[in-house]
Structure 1
Amino acid sequence: MTKEDTASRLKTAAHWYAELREPDADHRTWDAFRAWEGSDPANRAAFRQVEASLSVLEGSSLAAPGAGTGYDSSDTYTADRKPRRARLYWLTGIAAVLMLAVVSVVTLNPPAAPAVQVYATAIGDTRDVTLEDGSHVTLNTDTELAVTYSRSERRIQLAHGQALFSVMKGTRPFIVAAGGSETRALGTRFEVYRGPDDVSVTLVEGSVSVLPERAGQGEPETRLGGARAGTVLVPGDRLVLRGGAIQSLSQVDTSEALAWQTGILQFRDVTLAEAVTELNRYSDTKIRVDDPALAAEHLSGAFPAGDQEMFAETLKLFLPVEIRRRGNEILVEPAGGA
């Protein structure tokens, strides 16, 4: 509620307080008051606040002349009492003072910001986390995210890395923000990977809406009812975004996409360069392929995440390569300098 809303509600409450204290208040006045009070719990709270404060003031030296002591007062008002309008002005002015007091308290003691929980994994590690609403998150290697739950939403900020979300249904939207995109869900299972250059969202179950900062590939931004509309995914969809714009939407095998949970990386017709980039996420030992032609070779297979030595040795079964080790690097080169 804004300051203006608070001031307006207290002013109306003060007006009703004055109306009900007038000797000529009849059943129609009371019926109208009860309709206003019952239309919103905040109205009732505002009236009680005015009632409690003004009932104290009316018994003090600050009271307006002619003030009574309650709704049912049968006191006889003298001819020299202030006009009714003056009484209303007095009560309304007191309500304004109350409003300033309320606003001052809110300003000096603002509501505490929602607590932020940060979760992270080191290179080669994974971690399972159960959130306060029962939702479940599995963090993959070298991942960091921050969780903030407020009254209006459940928000995850993915700083880097990859996480699988199993969202508990609820009335508040579950939002994962990453690299200029927001993925919204109420009850579903999906994965978000934020890499150095792009963000990918893979839907496993249910439905999510992915909202990029801007429409991709030169297409106009989609709007529904004047509001920005996201891309709705179906199970098996993988949406890739770069620079806040949609790059591609494709279907993937979700069992292969989530194989990292078992410690296995599944590759299907990817380049050696792509496979190496993925493998290097799981180990401090980095594989290097400097030869462009070799890096462009395609491969498929399943490999243990983080076992760089095994991958390098396995490559020799499929490609004419030589393996050299230098510190924390494994160099993969064409055999015989070819």
Structure 2
Amino acid sequence: MKTMVNKQLLFDHFENKTMPLQKRLIEEWLQKEKNQEQFYQWLVEWEMQSALYQPEIELPLQRYVQHMETSSHPSIEDQGPVETSVPGRHTFQLPTLHRWLVAASLALLLLFSAWIGRESILFRTYRTAFGETRTLKLDDGSHVVLNANSSLQIPRFGFGTRTREVLLQGEAFFAIKHTTDNQKFLVKTEKGFNVTVHGTEFTVYTRSQGAKVALEKGKVAINYTVGSVTKEVTLKPGDLVILDRHNQPKLKRQVDAQKYSAWKEHRFVFDDMTLRQFGDMLNETYGLQVDIPSDKLAQRTLVGSFQADDADELLKTIADIFNLKIERQKNHVILLNNVN
């Protein structure tokens, strides 16, 4: 009975454990286009057993080509050149293209194409639109709630054995499951700071206006960079860290950390937020461009908790509180004092 090409056979092949006949079988298997994508997927999976994020694709490629070059193929090595005659022209010789070279070339082309788009192959990115929230369950059992206009990048083939890493843009609430081997969970950002945890609940905000981390349960460490120096601050439940645009942290103790994740229930909690800052929040959450011509009006502050399912409902609530007039054209909103 003919041996079938499966994952284990290819894993043995990548580890230089296959026999010449098995290598030839793999070559023939690769001739079918539908098998090439499976080949690469198993190649990446094999690499990720020893590397969490950035598999060394060149190394298995070199090994694969070396396997093909050193393998013996008696039925195709002795075929020799083929004579080809074209009417009206001289006869010339065209050497036979060995199937092992075709297979290696296909693998090279496949890997080269994948290298260009390797991020989309190695990672999966979840995104939310303006006004949308989304709940995700990760492979380790952890839960993440993405706020509007946010994205979370996770490994496509699962976490490795050393650490669990994700990349956040925007805002998200994390409920991280503790592992028996105390595997760290790392939330990376593009704002020059990362959050390291084991098992805890916290909210991370990272947008153009700055960044903040609020801890509800457990313990987290925030590593941030100022200039060329990396520093660390450790949070306890009820702690809030606010990082400005220069990554300078401000630590607040004993805050109500849950109000920073209230958006999960479409609840907005304002603590002396100016209307100018409220306009920035509408831009980040709903994609609205908010103009407040009056500086005096823009400096008025919001305090309290408000329930709203969308931007229109939230705007109406705030307009009623401040007696505002709202002028809106599509995504452009102007807030004015209501003189009536």
2:80 alignment partner in structure 1: none
Q: 1:316 to 1:174 in 2, by over 3 A?
A: closer
Correspondence 1:119 to 2:126: yes
Paired letter, 1:108: Q
Q: 1:313 to 1:135 in 2, by over 3 A?
A: closer
Paired letter, 1:177: K
Aligned match for 1:314, one of 314, 317, 328: 317
Cα-Cα RMSD: 3.0
1:249 alignment partner in structure 2: 251
1:168 alignment partner in structure 2: 177
Correspondence 1:177 to 2:188: yes
Give the 4+ runs in structure 1 shifted more than 6 A.
none
Structure 2: distance between partners of 1:325 and 1:132: 43
Structure 2: distance between partners of 1:153 and 1:137: 17
Q: In structure 2, the residue corresponding to 1:230 is in which secondary structure?
A: strand
Aligned match for 1:233, one of 218, 232, 235: 235
Q: 1:261 to 1:312 in 2, by over 3 A?
A: closer
Q: 1:318 to 1:305 in 2, by over 3 A?
A: closer
Moved more, 137-146 or 271-280: 271-280
Q: 1:311 to 1:146 in 2, by over 3 A?
A: closer
Correspondence 1:303 to 2:303: no
1:11-90 mapped onto 2 (5 Å cutoff):
none
Kindly indicate whether the alpha-carbon contact (under 8 Å) linking 1:207 and 1:234 is maintained by their aligned counterparts in 2.
Answer: yes
2:296 alignment partner in structure 1: 293
1:31 alignment partner in structure 2: none
Q: 1:173 to 1:122 in 2, by over 3 A?
A: same
1:190: Cα distance to partner? 1.1
Q: In structure 2, the residue corresponding to 1:108 is in which secondary structure?
A: helix
Q: 1:126 to 1:185 in 2, by over 3 A?
A: same
State how many pairs are aligned.
Answer: 224
Kindly indicate whether the alpha-carbon contact (under 8 Å) linking 1:212 and 1:244 is maintained by their aligned counterparts in 2.
Answer: no
Q: TM-score w.r.t. structure 2 length?
A: 0.58
Q: For each residue in 1:206-243, what CA deviation from the matched residue of structure 2 results, as whole angstroms up to 9, or x when unmatched?
A: 0000000128xxxx96xxxxxx6520001121112234
2:166 alignment partner in structure 1: 156
Kindly indicate whether the alpha-carbon contact (under 8 Å) linking 2:131 and 2:311 is maintained by their aligned counterparts in 1.
Answer: no
Aligned match for 1:108, one of 56, 62, 69: 62
Moved more, 265-274 or 303-312: 303-312
Q: TM-score w.r.t. structure 1 length?
A: 0.59
Q: For each residue in 1:302-325, what CA deviation from the matched residue of structure 2 results, as whole angstroms up to 9, or x when unmatched?
A: 334453333443344433532223
Q: 1:107 to 1:229 in 2, by over 3 A?
A: farther
2:275 alignment partner in structure 1: 272
Structure 1: distance between partners of 2:327 and 2:277: 20
Structure 2: distance between partners of 1:323 and 1:107: 62
Aligned match for 1:195, one of 195, 202, 207: 207
Name the % identity: 26
2:151 alignment partner in structure 1: 144
Structure 2 portions without partners, runs of 5+? 1-15, 17-57, 65-114
Structure 2: distance between partners of 1:176 and 1:325: 37
Structure 1: distance between partners of 2:195 and 2:332: 37
